[in-house]
Structure 1
Amino acid sequence: MHETRPKIRLYFDAPLCTGAELLLEEQAHYVSTVMRHGPGDCVEVFNGRDGAWTARITQASKRKIACTVEKQIALQQNPPDVWLLFAPIKKARTDFIVEKAAEMGVSRICPVFTQFTNSERLRRDRLRAHAIEAAEQCGGTFVPEVAEAMKLGSLLSDWDSRRRILFCDERRNAEPAQTVLRNYTRGPWAILIGPEGGFSQEEADAMYARDFVVPVSLGPRVLRADTAAVAAIAAWQMALGDWV
């Protein structure tokens, strides 16, 4: 019989090993009041580095939860080396992109400002929190880094050409992603998704001029930016990632 895993999964940024003592504060209300867990109950914890572990609660209140780490129940599983580069859009839809990118298995999330980006205020800590929550809910043991936002031109000027960029061209001039990706192998990649207004002609020309850029179409219809991010990650994962 398979051992029943705890119902609660929590991210905690500390080394995890048998006997380690953890003090959970941010999650205390959720654990004790919402989920009604107390001394003797177990939770699952992970830190993005050491896999997943069970931890038994020793003290519980609305403000603090103390627990002792008992044993490892899952090895660390990291995603493929693929980044998501995306132009921020409206707040809720930007949150959606970050959540789905974490769930679907990217290693780094990089907001980029393009000429037509109409959202210039980002809270990196809030996006990081969404990535952590997505990892907690999907059973993952890895939380992707959320990088500082950069202008697209600045990002490309210092780009390592060994990392190919899957350029999702909303003008649909390129070949379908699944057709194109059959010609490539695994390795470091990034996926670039534009803003609601698409890429400017200048930006598109600059992308096509770079040898490490791989232009693709995401189908016969123009997708919203958040939909395009999910579609592109899925296409890459099914061709070159850990979905195969």
Structure 2
Amino acid sequence: MQPKIRLHVDLPLAAEAEVGLAREQAHYLFSVMRLAAGDRVALFNGRDGEWAAEVVSAGKRAGVLACRERLRQQTVLPDLWLLFAPLKKARTDFVAEKACEMGCARLWPVFTQHTNAERVRPDRLRAHAVEAAEQCGLLAVPEVAEPCPLAAALAGWDPARRLLFCDERGGGVPAFAAVQAAGPGPWAVLVGPEGGFSEAEAERLRALPFAHAASLGPRILRADTAAVAALALLQAAAGDWR
């Protein structure tokens, strides 16, 4: 029977392997969820598949689980990236969570000329990605890349990876059609800040041979909504939703 609770760990998973819990994990399992010795939890680490693990010992600040049965073999995330301008804290958290649910392999915060947020915490983004992976059945957690200026990200870009540039100025073709016309990936999605891309940024993006300007419809979407919409369209047109 599939355990109802899933937990991401950074330790190796194998038959009868014992997994020590961090303090926060022990608190969640034993104080919040009220698990006890003998109860089962699903564990995954992004490398060894998913395992049903039994609670061997339970304490307020620590605990030990033992792997009893492999539930699923390891799978890999789709080779899909999301580049996004950091937003206000709660909305940045939303983007990280939803991008994980949509199947992104890499989240990359990039600073643009109109980005309002001055800083972003990769550890916070990863925590939200881990929580989303636990809840939606993923077997791996997306990588969170170090934030950098958009210009720096583009300067080192591999031209083999196509870039879906969400153009709020209305200069792009419908996103679904743009992806279908461009063909298979790998792909990345780029979503700008609340104030949109500057004219210089937009001109540079349009000039890049690997970038494809795309429209997300007749309405101007909030940046966090645009990220989810673009990822959904790309997954439907060329990703693992087909």
| Other-structure match for 2:141 | 143
- Which residue of 56, 68, 71 maps to 1:70? 68
TM-score in terms of structure 1 length: 0.97
Partner residue in 2 for 1:34: 32
Aligned to 1:6: 3
Residue 21 of structure 1 corresponds to: 18
Name the SS for the 1:70 alignment partner. strand
The 1-side partners of 2:172 and 2:231 are apart by 17
Q: Which residue of 2 aligns with 1:210?
A: 208
| Corresponding position of 1:103 | 101
CA distance in 1 between partners of 2:81 and 2:6 (Å): 25
Conserved? CA contact 1:7–1:43, under 8 Å: yes
Pairwise CA distance, 1:158 = 1.1
Matched letter for residue 134 of structure 1: A
Preserved contact between residue 113 and residue 149 of structure 1 (Cα < 8 Å):
yes
How many aligned residue pairs are there? 241
Q: 1:185-225: CA deviations, max 9, x gaps?
A: 32211100000000000000000011000110000000000
What secondary structure is seen at the aligned counterpart in 1 of 2:131?
Answer: helix
1:122 has 2:120 as partner: yes
Give, as a single letter, the amino acid of the residue that structure 2 aligns with 1:22: V
In structure 1, what is the equivalent of residue 159 of structure 2? 161
Which shows bigger deviation, 73-82 or 121-130?
73-82
- Identify the residue that residue 131 of structure 2 maps to in structure 1: 133
- Picking from 44, 53, 56, the partner of 1:55 is 53
Give a deviation string over 1:105-154, Cα, whole Å, max 9, x none.
Answer: 01100000000001021111111100000000101111000010010011
Question: What secondary structure does 1:27 align onto?
Answer: helix
Unaligned runs of 5+ in 2: none
Counterpart of 2:187, as a letter, is W
Looking at structure 2, the residues matched to 134 and 154 of structure 1 have their Cα atoms a distance apart, in angstroms, of 29
Q: Percent identity?
A: 57
* Residue identity in the other structure for 2:106: R
Structure 2 distance, partners of 1:43, 1:127, is 24
Mapped partners of 2:74, 2:183: distance in 1? 24
The separation in 1 between residues aligned to 2:41 and 2:174, in whole angstroms, is: 44
Which aligned segments of 4 or more residues in structure 1 are displaced greater than 2 angstroms?
A: 184-187
Match of 2:92 in 1: 94
Shift of 1:176: 0.4
- For the residue of structure 2 that corresponds to 1:182, the secondary structure is helix
Deviation digits for residues 31-52 of structure 1 (CA, Å, limit 9, x no counterpart):
1111111111110000012211
With 174-183 and 38-47 compared, the bigger mean Cα shift is at 174-183
Alpha-carbon separation, structure 2, partners of 1:64 and 1:87: 38
TM-align CA RMSD: 0.8
